Amino acid sequence: MDILITGVLLGATYSLIAMGLTLQYGVARIMNLANGEMLVAGAFGAFWVFTTQKLSPFTSVAFVAPGAFVLNWLIYRFLLRPLVRRAKNRGMLEVDSILATFGMAFAFVGIMLLVFGGEYFTYSYLDEPVAIFGSPFGLNRVVACLVSVALCGLLYLGLNATRTGMALRAVAVDPAAAGLVAIDVPRMSTFAFALGGAVTAVGGIVLSTFLTMDASIGIVFTMKALIIVIMGGVGDVRGAIIASLILGLAETAVASLIDPGLTLAAAYLLFLLVLLFRPEGLFGRRQS
Amino acid sequence: MTRRETVSVAMVAVALAILACLPFLVDGYLLSLAVGIAMYTVLATSWALFSGPTHYISLATAAFYGLGAYVVAAGVDVIPYAVLLGLAGIAGGVVAALVGLATLRLSGVYFVIFTLGLAELVRQIVTWVQNNLTGSRGMYVLTEITERMIFWELLALAAAVYLIGWLVTRSRLGFALRIIGNDEVVAAHVGINSAASKLALFVISGTFAGTVGAVMAPRFTYIEPSIAFSPELSFQVVIMALLGGVHRLWGPLVGVIPFTILWEVIAGRFPTQTVLLLGIAFLLIVYLIPNGVVGRIESAIKLAGRSVKHG
Amino acid sequence: MAESTALDVQGVSKRFGGLLAVDDLSFAVRENEVLGLIGPNGSGKTTVMNLISGLLKPNGGEIFLGDRKISDRPARIIARAGVARTFQLVRILPSLTVLENVIAGAVFGHKRLWGRAVRQFALRQLERVGMGHAVDAPTASLTYIDEKRVELARALASDPRILLLDEWLAGLNPTELQIGIDLISSLREEGRTIILVEHVMDAIRSLCDRCVVMNSGAKIAEGTPEQTLADREVIRAYLGDEHA
């Protein structure tokens, strides 16, 4: 039972990160391997607000979200769109964007190491127990979960109930056809990439309330987000949420039943199963 | 063999013979630099054999390498070293085959992601096994093997990589891979087994990386998971190969030499800034030299040739 | 003419989501026959080609090459068994030379040559399609009809038992069209077994021994070009009710 609840709490926060990458990969078609670094940058923002300004870490959303949005907008506009333009086919764009975003990821880590140094950073916020079904859980984890659920809900509504959301989903399904019905595909891609970056950075804020991080931990979260997105099916929001919960549960189960050092192995086992049996995602239709 | 090929083979043989004399001339820092260059040459060239034609970016080098080093560490007291080298190669090849079977049927993104975490995965498993079964994390590798001998072993491996690479490019397999890299649908429709061809090359590169790890193991003296499975290695290899150029067998070498030296300098003076160097190198490759230095030079020569013809 | 069956399509269906692209289609191709597969746009002709070549798997029905079942085999096995094709949208291998593009057809498939033999064989195919002058040219310099010729040479290089030509004549100008028709008709005289998806009616009349007409995934007529093109159902499918 404890495992179940901890797993769900963790999984819900993962879904926020996965949402960010889904927007970037599903809509803008960029496999952003610098995703985790954006998350760490967001976490740094929260850490800074909490330790120096003595404010709730969640207030950092006020500058982290717009900051990440603008930064990702610039990255897509000036670094990635040239790659989209010069690519002759999807495979070429894939290779180029993988290498370019790796470069950005390492550059970010390098810059963060310069600015903040290599130490672990952690702070204690709402570090008190609450009882759920009689067992104690960290209040910060519960709050993080609720915030993630609220944000995911908001995004889901936005994607399904607004004009822009509709346009984004159209680009995700078929960029060429979306262009034919007068959707500005490059603009929508840029917007999706920027929005995805902002969501990821906010995910970093949420995670930082209960996880210890350092400048070079981003890659771990990139891996997790990638596994979730592939497991859920590329561009599939519902699939991503369920995949997040599965990953959260699997990691928690392995950590508490076998060894906390094997959480990545757990994630990998899931990944492998998906690749072998459902490479099109949990709810994906098999393409012929 | 054509006349030109005979000449190239002779030149490579002479170059190798000269290089083999190097340990008699230099030692200390320069010899260790030479060992580094030889090591990266083997790793980057064997990486390019697979990734060059197929465009699959493999980040699994560190996993194979670490595995090779661990095979030596685990068996050095009981099994002869030469046998261990072979076992390490087999270990690298077997893991490559397993990874390839799971991922090579699918798109390149899945492959990159899977290999990205592979070194970390193997590290976690090795750590767990050591903690739970043997009790201690590290292992000593105490041998009589000197830096000179390591250099010679690497030189022999480099010769082997070039020989295999040369044979592959002349073979049906090499031709099949070029077609696969162009268009997998056409490849299937002319009768090529894409998955098997890619797998064969990936296994070759995994075997080499595993063997290199085993060759380098005596140099560590003390091996523990975080040293053997350093993920940086995978990225360095990718950068060096792409920097030099992957569409020629000797392309990676052009990237290996300057980058190894640069890395030594940066790592020596600003040890925390190697990550930034990796980042800048990646960006540089993508935006300024997408076909590598060799590709740059070749297109410059072609341009010059054309202007001479027309001029 | 020998009456043995080269390719037998038996009750084949293909579904894409809710769309039934090919609906219980059956037809046979005899040895040394040129069969035209015609029908309005979207009637499922290219899908049938893809099902035969193995690019797609049928949801139902079976396809036999001679007496060997191929509908459950991957494309590479079907290619080795002797099916070669060109694509509706030409697929040239851009980083290979013209000659290498053709060699690609003769190394791994039905024909398995290597070394000097394959070079000479591929050269002959290139000359056969009228491309002997551009052997070492980079593919980027080719015109549209030349690309189509190279692709045809690649298909011929496997010495296929069945050749699938998917709108090979589409997009050519009148002069090129005549060259194209002559080329295919010389293949026909050689005795090649060919399935031809085509919209150019002149080509169908002059090249095909028989036609299969498709509409909405199903076969609506079969027979000689004269018979089928005069068929009321066929005219209705192409032009609508008032012309029938």
Per-residue H/E/C for chain A: CHHHHHHHHHHHHHHHHHHHHHHHHHHCCCCCCCHHHHHHHHHHHHHHHHHHCCCCHHHHHHHHHHHHHHHHHHHHHHHHHHHHHHCCCHHHHHHHHHHHHHHHHHHHHHHHHHHHCCCCECCCCCCCEEEECCEEEEHHHHHHHHHHHHHHHHHHHHHHHCHHHHHHHHHHHCHHHHHHCCCCHHHHHHHHHHHHHHHHHHHHHHHHCCCCECCCCHHHHHHHHHHHHHHHCCCCHHHHHHHHHHHHHHHHHHHHHCCHHHHHHHHHHHHHHHHHHCCCCCCCCCCC
CA distance B77 to B90: 19
Question: In 10 A of CB B4, how many CB atoms?
Answer: 8
Q: Share the mean pLDDT of chain C.
A: 91
Contact of C115 with chain A, judged by CB distance below 8 Å, is answered with no
**Chain centroid offset of residue C69 CA:** 19
Q: Is the sign of the CA dihedral C206, C207, C213, C216 positive or negative?
A: negative
List chains touching C (3+ CB pairs under 8 A): A, B
C-alpha closest to that of A34 among A112, A101, A94, A100: A101
Name the residue range of residue A166's domain.
2-277
- Chain C partners within 8 Å of B190 (Cβ): 79, 84, 104-105, 107-109, 154, 158
CA distance B235 to A102: 9
What does the pLDDT average to over C156-165? 95
Residue A57 has pLDDT above 90, yes or no: no
Residue in B57, B131, B280 closest to A98 by CB: B57
Alpha helices in chain B (DSSP H): 3-20, 22-25, 29-54, 61-75, 81-103, 108-129, 147-170, 172-182, 184-189, 194-220, 225-228, 232-244, 251-269, 274-287, 292-310
Greatest CA separation for chain C: 61
What does the pLDDT average to over A35-44? 93
What does the pLDDT average to over C115-139? 90
Contact A93, A84 (CB under 8 A): yes
What does the pLDDT average to over A184-190? 92
The pLDDT-based confidence of A287 (bands split at 50, 70, 90) is very low
Q: Tokens standing for C75?
A: 């494309």
Show Cβ contacts of residue B105 under 8 Å, excluding neighbours closer than 6 positions: A279, B195
CA distance A12 to A252: 13
CA distance A10 to C7: 58
Please tell me which residue of chain B has the smallest CA distance to C101.
Answer: B179
What does the pLDDT average to over C113-124? 92
Q: Which of B125-134, C66-75, C154-163 has the lowest mean pLDDT?
A: B125-134
Contact A218, A102 (CB under 8 A): no
Q: In angstroms, what is the C-alpha Rg of chain A?
A: 18
CA distance B234 to A239: 32
Which of the residue ranges A134-143, B112-121, C131-140, C161-170 has the most confident prediction, judged by mean pLDDT?
C161-170
Q: Cβ–Cβ of C108/B192 closer than 8 Å? A: yes
* Distance from the B181 Cα atom to the nearest Cα atom in chain A, whole angstroms: 10
**What pLDDT is attached to residue B174?**
94
Residue in B176, B182, B183 closest to C108 by CB: B176
Q: What is the CATH topology of the domain spanning C1-82+162-171+193-244?
A: Rossmann fold (3.40.50)
* A181 domain-assigned: yes
Q: Cβ–Cβ of B128/A103 closer than 8 Å? A: no
Contact of C17 with chain A, judged by CB distance below 8 Å, is answered with yes
Q: Cβ–Cβ of C57/A285 closer than 8 Å? A: no
What does the pLDDT average to over A261-283? 83
- Chain A partners within 8 Å of B272 (Cβ): 113-114, 118
Burial class (CB in 10 A: 0-12, 13-18, 19+), B96: buried
**What pLDDT is attached to residue A288?**
36
CA distance B256 to B69: 22
Q: Cβ–Cβ of C107/B186 closer than 8 Å? A: no
Amino acid identity, position B93: G
Q: Cβ–Cβ of B190/C79 closer than 8 Å? A: yes
What does the pLDDT average to over A6-14? 89
Contact C139, C96 (CB under 8 A): yes
Contact of C90 with chain A, judged by CB distance below 8 Å, is answered with no
Q: Cβ–Cβ of C104/B190 closer than 8 Å? A: yes
pLDDT tens-digit readout, B128-137: 888 887 767 6
Contact C220, C237 (CB under 8 A): yes
pLDDT tens-digit readout, A197-255: 999 999 999 999 888 888 888 888 998 998 898 888 877 788 888 999 999 999 999 98
CA distance C118 to C137: 18
Q: Is the sign of the CA dihedral A151, A156, A161, A165 positive or negative?
A: positive
Q: Tokens standing for A8?
A: 């769900």
**Chain centroid offset of residue B190 CA:** 31
C-alpha closest to that of B53 among B208, B164, B180, B161: B180
CA distance A176 to B124: 44
Residue in C55, C80, C95 closest to B191 by CB: C80
Contact of C57 with chain A, judged by CB distance below 8 Å, is answered with yes
Residue in B181, B183, B190 closest to C105 by CB: B190
How many contacts (CB atoms, under 8 Å) link A and B? 119
The CATH number that applies at residue A171 is 1.10.3470
| Residue ranges of chain B whose CB lies within 8 Å of a chain C CB | 172, 175-176, 178-179, 181-183, 185-194
Sites in chain B below the pLDDT cut of 50? 311
Q: Share the mean pLDDT of chain A.
A: 87
Q: Which of A24-33, A85-94, A196-205, B61-70 has the lowest mean pLDDT?
A: A85-94
Contact C213, C196 (CB under 8 A): no
Residue in B179, B193, B194 closest to C104 by CB: B179
Please tell me which residue of chain A has the smallest CA distance to C57.
Answer: A288
- Chain B partners within 8 Å of A104 (Cβ): 279, 283
* Distance from the C63 Cα atom to the nearest Cα atom in chain A, whole angstroms: 18
* Distance from the C226 Cα atom to the nearest Cα atom in chain B, whole angstroms: 33
- Chain A partners within 8 Å of C17 (Cβ): 285
Contact of A269 with chain B, judged by CB distance below 8 Å, is answered with no
**What pLDDT is attached to residue C101?**
95
Contact of A87 with chain B, judged by CB distance below 8 Å, is answered with no
Amino acid identity, position C49: M
Contact A108, A37 (CB under 8 A): yes
Contact B175, B33 (CB under 8 A): no
**What pLDDT is attached to residue B279?**
93
C-alpha closest to that of C183 among C149, C132, C142, C144: C149
Q: Tokens standing for B259?
A: 């980058």
- Chain C partners within 8 Å of B187 (Cβ): 76
Q: Cβ–Cβ of B178/C96 closer than 8 Å? A: yes
Q: Cβ–Cβ of A110/B114 closer than 8 Å? A: no
Q: Cβ–Cβ of B190/C108 closer than 8 Å? A: yes
Helix (H, G, I), strand (E, B) or coil at C138: strand
Selected for mutation to probe chain C from B1, B168, B190 (highest C CB count within 10 Å) is B190
Return the higher-pLDDT residue of A139 and B158.
B158
**What pLDDT is attached to residue B210?**
97
How many contacts (CB atoms, under 8 Å) link B and C? 66
Contact C54, C74 (CB under 8 A): yes
Residue C1 has pLDDT above 60, yes or no: no
Q: Cβ–Cβ of B188/C95 closer than 8 Å? A: no
Contact of A100 with chain B, judged by CB distance below 8 Å, is answered with yes
pLDDT tens-digit readout, C209-224: 999 999 999 999 999 9
Q: Cβ–Cβ of A264/B128 closer than 8 Å? A: no
**What pLDDT is attached to residue A118?**
76
* Distance from the B209 Cα atom to the nearest Cα atom in chain A, whole angstroms: 21
Q: Is the sign of the CA dihedral B174, B177, B183, B188 positive or negative?
A: positive
- Chain A partners within 8 Å of B114 (Cβ): 271, 275
pLDDT tens-digit readout, C8-28: 999 999 999 888 999 999 999
How many domains does the structure of chain A reveal? 1
* A283 domain-assigned: no
- Any idea where the domains of chain C sit in the sequence? 1-82+162-171+193-244, 89-160
Residue A128 has pLDDT above 80, yes or no: no
- Chain C partners within 8 Å of B178 (Cβ): 93, 95-96, 100
* A282 domain-assigned: no
